[in-house]
Amino acid sequence: MSTATFRPATLDDAELAADVMTAAYPDLPEDPVLTRYRWAHPRHEWSTARFVAELDGRPIAFVGWGHRAWEQTALRLCHVEVWLDKAKLELELLLSLWTWVSAAAEAEGARLLEGYAVEDEVEMLEVLNRLGYERDRTERVWELDLKAHGRRLVEEARAARSKAQAAGIEMITLAGWTDPDALRKLHSLSETTHQDVPTTYELPPESYENFVERVSSPDKPHDRFWVAISADRAVAMSFLRFPPVRGHVWTGYTCSHREFRGRGLARAVKLQTLSQAVELGVPSVLTGNDSENAAMLHINKTLGYDRRPGFVSLIKRVET
C-alpha cells in the first residue's frame, strides 16, 4: 500500500476539500461555497487544522481537527475528521489516515477525541473500532418527500399560522422582522434552547458575532428564516439551509422557548419553512435530531418524515 502525504489546507483549498468530502460520501454532497464560508468565518476561541492527503501527488482525502481553547474545556475535547474518496477506499489506507490525524490531535494536547461516521459507513466504523473509538451518541436523520406530502403541509402550515395569530403570536420571516434588535433576540433564544439539546458534553456558548456570521451564511436567506413573535419577543424559530451549489436542503434548527412549549409552536414554525419549500419546488428536505430528543422526533413522525442512515459520534480517551 502506498503511503499518503499530508499538506496544510489553505482557504483556497476549500473547493477541493468540498469535492473530496462529496466523493467520500456522495449521498450527502458538500457545497464548495459553504465550505469556504465556514473556513473564512471560524468560531471564536477555537483552534483548527486542516490537511489535504495525497497519493502520488493527487488529493485523495481531507482530514482535520478542531477544539475550543483548552482553558474552556477541562476534558480537552477535540473533534477529528477523515474524508477518503470512495474510489480510493481501502481499510489500511483509511486506518493510516485516522491514525495520523488522531496522533496530530493528541500532539496538540487533546485528551478526548471525537469522530463521526454515517451509520452505513461500514469500513469507517470498523477502523474507528480498531483504533479504540467507542460509540457515544446517534443522530437520527430523516427525509421528508415534499412531492408526496406538499399539499397537506401547506394546508397544515396555514392552519397553524392562523391558530398562532389567534393566540397573539405572529409568524414572519427574519427579512420581514424590522426590530433593530432582531438578531440579538434570536441569539438569546438560540443560546437558551441549545441548553436543552441532548448531549454528552456541555455545549459551548456561541458569541453574538459568531451567531450573526452563521445566520448570514449563503445557505440561510433571511426571507426563508421563520420566527414566531409574541409582544416583540422571539419565542420560536425554524429555518432551512439551502446550499447555493449542490447538496440537500436541510432543516438547520427548530426550537421554542421553554415558557411557550406545549402550544405546538415548534411544529407550527417548522411548517412555515416546509410550506415555503413546497412553493419553491424543493423535492425533499432532510433533518437530523439526537436519538434522545423525543419532542423533535415526535414532530418529525407526525409530519411524515422517513428514516435514512444517521450519524454516529465516537469517542476515544487518550492515555496520559
Query: What was the pLDDT predicted at 298?
Result: 74
Block residue for cell numbers 430523516: 142
How far apart CA 112 and CA 197 sit, in angstroms, is 21
Residue 224 sits in a domain of what CATH number? 3.40.630.30
Predicted confidence at residue 320, as pLDDT, reads: 67
Residues 191 and 76 in one domain: no
Is the domain of 44 the same as that of 105? Answer: yes
For residue 249, the Cα-to-chain-centroid distance in whole angstroms is 12
- pLDDT, tens digit (0-9, with 9 covering 90-100), for 76-109: 999 999 999 999 999 999 999 999 999 999 999 9
Same domain as 149, residue 128: no
Which of 83, 109, 132 marks a domain boundary? 132
- Long-range Cβ contact pairs of 13-19 (< 8 A, separation 24 or more): 13/50, 13/52, 14/39, 14/40, 16/52, 16/59, 16/62, 17/50, 17/52, 17/62, 17/83
Burial of 138 from C-beta contacts in 10 A (0-12 / 13-18 / 19+): middle
What is the structure's pLDDT at 1?
62
Give Cβ neighbours of residue 316 (< 8 Å, ≥ 6 apart): 102, 112, 113, 115, 131, 132, 133, 134
Long-range contacts of 256-263 (CB under 8 A, 24+ apart): 256/193, 256/228, 257/189, 257/192, 257/193, 258/192, 258/193, 258/196, 259/235, 260/228, 260/230, 260/235, 260/236, 263/167
The number of domains in the chain is 2
Query: By three-state DSSP, how is residue 52 classified?
Result: strand
Q: Is the pTM of this model over 0.85?
A: yes
Q: pLDDT by residue (tens digit) across 124-170?
A: 999 999 999 999 999 899 999 999 999 999 999 999 999 999 999 99
Q: How many CA atoms lie within 13 A of 268 on its CB side?
A: 25
Give residue 106's domain range. 5-132
Q: Is residue 97 domain-shared with residue 164, that is, in the same domain?
A: no
Q: What band does 302 get if pLDDT is binned at 50, 70 and 90?
A: confident
